[in-house]
């Protein structure tokens, strides 16, 4: 369903307990943005809390979390982007086109600018990767993720706020934005066509029990949590460790990697981790298992009864 600008504005203003945009949001009308370049991540896509603290006044901070979590604790001056608002359940070409425009409008309404340095973070879920993928897909040039998220920030004595946020005025979204990086998104049809392609690795990042219950044929399983340290604040593993971990299951840089989960949120952590590891041809099947499983024509392993 297409989300109108009116609904987007209402969602921004409503939130939970009156949550809304950070008060420093600047107008986005007339914003000039360059065409997107090929996305290059690697270790530069991560920033540590110690590095970010002296840069924070010049950085656009985006909290990728539910409104209730944002109200409980956030980095001072942050903009809220709820990962649940980014879902795409139908990856037909027409649906992708409509959703892409909706996402462009959503991030503009939220005040997320393409011409400012951007750092995304979460509250320990690793789901800032979902916001990172979204901005990279929409053409933003190398947004960064705060390694360890809010927990690492607090441990470094960064300023943390809590409570309701004053609603800021929201200007109309821009008519044009950066060029979409369409190659970062995989559709159901593209995944289906890739099933017998030895040059494509399908990566299922769900829990092993979910994978065992049903998965896309040929997909290998590595839970998304394996990409980060088990101990809090869940720092991402080094590129060297990530490459070794993925090579052990047959996911190597010479292949195009397509990640998925249930709704595309956990799959984005796999996507981001592969980019950190230096992979250059990676896509997120954003419709993920929910879309695949809902189509009875599509094959599954084990075969559905």
| Domain boundary assignment for the chain | 5-180, 183-293
Tell me how many degrees the CA angle 144-145-149 measures, rounded to the nearest 5: 155
Q: Give residue 305's pLDDT band: very low, low, confident or very high (50, 70, 90).
A: low
Q: Are the C-beta atoms of residues 256 and 190 closer than 8 Å to each other?
A: no
Active site residue 261: yes
Which of the following CATH numbers is that of domain 5-180: 2.40.37.10, 3.30.465.10, 3.30.70.940, 3.40.250.10? Answer: 3.40.250.10
Q: Which of 80, 112, 261, 276 is catalytic?
A: 261
H/E stretch holding 52 reads helix 49-52
Per-chain mean pLDDT for the chain = 87
The answer on pLDDT for 64 being more than 60 is yes
The answer to whether residues 84 and 65 touch, using CB atoms and an 8 Å cutoff, is: no
Paired strand residues for 258: 202, 283
Per DSSP, 301 falls in state B
**Is residue 220 within 8 Å of residue 282, measured between CB atoms?**
no
Is 183-293 the same fold as 5-180?
Answer: yes
Q: Check if the beta carbon of residue 71 is closer than 8 Å to that of residue 82.
A: no
pLDDT, residue 22, reads 34
The mean pLDDT of 249-271, rounded to a whole number, is 98
| Owner of token pair 């030895």 | 198
Q: Residue 174: what pLDDT? A: 59
What pLDDT band is residue 246 in, cutting at 50, 70 and 90?
Answer: very high
pLDDT at 121: 98
- Provide the 3-class DSSP secondary structure of residue 199: coil
pLDDT per position as a tens digit, 186-219:
999 999 999 999 999 999 999 999 999 999 999 9
Q: What is the pLDDT of residue 265?
A: 98
Quick one: pLDDT at residue 18?
35
204: CB partners within 8 A, 6+ apart: 211, 215, 216, 219, 220, 221, 222, 260, 261, 289
**Confidence (pTM):** 0.87
Q: What is the pLDDT of residue 29?
A: 27
For residue 23, pLDDT beyond 60? no
Q: Tell me which fold the domain 183-293 belongs to.
A: Oxidized Rhodanese; domain 1 (3.40.250)
């Amino acid at each position: 369903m297409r989300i109108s600008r009116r609904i987007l504005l209402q969602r921004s203003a409503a939130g939970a307990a009156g949550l809304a945009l950070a008060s420093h949001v600047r107008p986005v009308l007339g914003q000039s943005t360059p065409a997107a370049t090929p996305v290059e991540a690697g270790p530069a896509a991560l920033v540590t809390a110690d590095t970010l603290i002296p840069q924070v006044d010049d950085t656009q901070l985006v909290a990728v979390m539910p409104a209730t979590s944002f109200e409980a604790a956030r980095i001072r001056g942050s903009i809220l982007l709820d990962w649940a608002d980014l879902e795409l359940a139908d990856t037909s070409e027409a649906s992708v086109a409509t959703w892409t425009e909706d996402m462009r409008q959503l991030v503009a309404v939220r005040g997320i600018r393409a011409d400012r340095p951007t750092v995304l973070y979460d509250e320990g879920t690793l789901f800032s990767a979902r916001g990172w993928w979204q901005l990279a897909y929409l053409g933003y040039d190398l947004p960064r993720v705060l390694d360890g998220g809010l927990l690492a920030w607090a441990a470094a004595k960064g300023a943390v706020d809590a409570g309701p946020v004053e609603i800021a005025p929201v200007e109309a979204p821009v008519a044009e934005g950066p060029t979409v990086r369409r190659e970062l998104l995989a559709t159901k049809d593209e995944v289906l066509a890739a099933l017998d392609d030895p040059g494509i690795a399908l990566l299922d990042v769900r829990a092993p029990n979910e994978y065992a219950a049903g998965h896309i044929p040929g997909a290998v399983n590595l839970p998304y949590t394996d990409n980060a340290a088990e101990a809090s604040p869940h720092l991402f593993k080094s590129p060297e460790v990530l490459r070794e971990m993925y090579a052990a299951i047959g996911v190597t840089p010479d292949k195009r990697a397509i990640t998925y989960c249930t709704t595309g949120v956990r799959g984005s952590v796999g996507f981001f981790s592969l980019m950190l590891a230096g992979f250059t041809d990676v896509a997120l099947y954003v419709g993920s298992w929910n879309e695949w499983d809902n189509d009875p024509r599509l094959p599954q392993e084990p075969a559905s009864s």
